[in-house]
């Protein structure tokens, strides 16, 4: 089959790693995946030739427009590919009524939510979200994000430069990150060096504008300086897994809206392959659903989370065994090959 993925790809944020893996696994299984758009010098094969497409997959993540197009893209895509072979993957939980959670939101108004859902409905009746708990009855579960065992780095926790190393952009994530850092304050000397890599941690990100509420890019540079936190620039998706391995441990945190909707992201799976111990900033039930029951030992508890961090620092070998179990679970349940087959089945149904 020939799948056309419709997505505006940023190679230093979002789901670029996933898209790259879908293209690779499709080729090994005798299929073809191209990204819709004009030719580009980046990592992906772009094409505006949709006539031979067996299915069109709309991947909606932070944008509702084809920013590289000429405003006729929607007409071409809808006019050339039957509705039955179009699929919408809603990565951000926008196919819901307006939701606000701890300053985070999917839509600013009820009218915007209705308009967005109507737009999705006009494209397809196959609406997918990367959550096991979709709120709307017509939405199906599909974890667009997945795991590649070839990512796995050997586990070696000797001579780490950083105690904690986090890779990710600050987009409604300052609250979850601050809770992690506050847990480390009483044990700051025991943790060692800490670094945050990504946009928006000590200054406004490039996408900040007056239409966004402050919570979207809130930060506290003075707090980071007081804790002696190093802030580094964003990196290409191909460098993410090695970069996380610079730290003994790395937190896995989501923006409040994603926590509420129990949405998985690319980092849900990438972190497990890195040479670092993941510490989950969400509840144990969610961790067990995605990673299996042993994952609960890697959850930061709401009471005295610093005790968990100190135990990781003292016994990294023990937690490496748990991480190995998680890797086995993801290989069995969350491979890209299985995801692609599920997507092919959904598109053909």
Asked if 220 and 73 sit in the same domain, the reply is: no
Query: Tens digit of pLDDT for each residue in 244-303?
Result: 999 999 999 999 999 999 999 999 999 999 999 999 999 999 999 999 999 999 999 999
| Mean of pLDDT values over 220-248 | 95
**H-helix or E-strand spanning residue 76:** helix 73-80
Query: Tens digit of pLDDT for each residue in 54-64?
Result: 899 999 986 65
Asked if 181 and 329 sit in the same domain, the reply is: yes
CATH number at residue 298: 3.40.50.2000
Query: Tens digit of pLDDT for each residue in 89-122?
Result: 999 999 999 999 998 999 989 999 999 999 899 9
Q: What's the pLDDT score for residue 46?
A: 76
CATH number at residue 49: 3.40.50
Three-class SS of residue 97?
coil
Asked if 51 and 157 sit in the same domain, the reply is: no
Domain extent, residue 93, equals: 2-146+335-348
**Spatial contact of 255 and 171, defined as CB atoms under 8 Å apart:** yes
- How deeply is 235 buried, as exposed, middle or buried, from its count of CB atoms within 10 A (0-12, 13-18, 19+)? middle
DSSP 40: -
Asked if 166 and 268 sit in the same domain, the reply is: yes
Total number of domains in the chain: 2
Task: Compute the distance between CA of residue 181 and CA of residue 177 in angstroms, rounded to an integer.
Answer: 6
User: Phi then psi for 137, rounded to 5 degrees?
Assistant: -65, -25
Asked if 298 and 234 sit in the same domain, the reply is: yes
User: Phi then psi for 59, rounded to 5 degrees?
Assistant: -105, 105
Assess whether pLDDT exceeds 70 at residue 26.
yes
**Spatial contact of 198 and 170, defined as CB atoms under 8 Å apart:** yes
Q: What's the pLDDT score for residue 16?
A: 82
DSSP 138: T
Asked if 191 and 314 sit in the same domain, the reply is: yes
| Mean of pLDDT values over 331-342 | 95
Q: What's the pLDDT score for residue 66?
A: 55
Asked if 83 and 164 sit in the same domain, the reply is: no
**What mean pLDDT value characterizes the chain?**
90
């Amino acid at each position: 089959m020939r799948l056309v993925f419709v997505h505006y790809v940023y190679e230093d944020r979002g789901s670029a790693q996933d898209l790259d893996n879908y293209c690779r696994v499709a080729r090994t299984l005798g299929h073809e995946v191209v990204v819709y758009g004009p030719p580009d010098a980046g990592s992906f094969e772009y094409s505006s030739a949709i006539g031979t497409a067996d299915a069109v997959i709309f991947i909606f993540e932070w944008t509702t427009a084809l920013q590289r197009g000429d405003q006729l893209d929607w007409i071409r895509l809808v006019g050339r590919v039957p509705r039955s072979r179009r699929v919408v993957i809603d990565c951000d939980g926008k196919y819901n009524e307006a939701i606000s959670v701890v300053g985070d939101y999917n839509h600013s108004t009820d009218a915007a939510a209705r308009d967005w859902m109507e737009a999705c409905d006009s494209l397809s009746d196959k609406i997918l979200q990367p959550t096991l708990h979709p709120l709307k009855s017509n939405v199906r579960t599909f974890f667009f994000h997945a795991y590649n065992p070839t990512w796995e780095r050997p586990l070696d926790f000797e001579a780490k430069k950083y105690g904690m190393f986090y890779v990710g952009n600050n987009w409604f994530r300052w609250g979850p990150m601050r809770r992690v850092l506050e847990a480390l304050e009483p044990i700051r000397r025991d943790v060692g060096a800490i670094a945050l890599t990504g946009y928006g941690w000590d200054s406004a990100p490039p996408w900040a504008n007056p239409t966004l509420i402050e919570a979207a890019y809130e930060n506290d540079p003075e707090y980071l300086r007081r804790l002696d936190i190093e802030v580094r620039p964003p990196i290409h998706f191909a460098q993410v897994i090695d970069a996380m391995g610079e730290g003994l441990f790395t937190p896995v945190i989501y923006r409040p809206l994603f926590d509420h909707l129990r949405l998985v992201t690319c980092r849900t799976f990438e972190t497990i392959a890195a040479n670092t111990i993941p510490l989950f900033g969400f509840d144990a039930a969610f961790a067990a659903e995605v990673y299996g029951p042993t994952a609960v030992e890697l959850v930061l508890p709401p009471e005295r989370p610093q005790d968990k961090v100190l135990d990781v620092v003292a016994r990294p070998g023990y937690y490496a065994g748990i991480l190995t179990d998680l890797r086995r679970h993801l290989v069995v349940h969350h491979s890209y090959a299985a995801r692609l087959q599920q997507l092919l089945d959904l598109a053909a149904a």
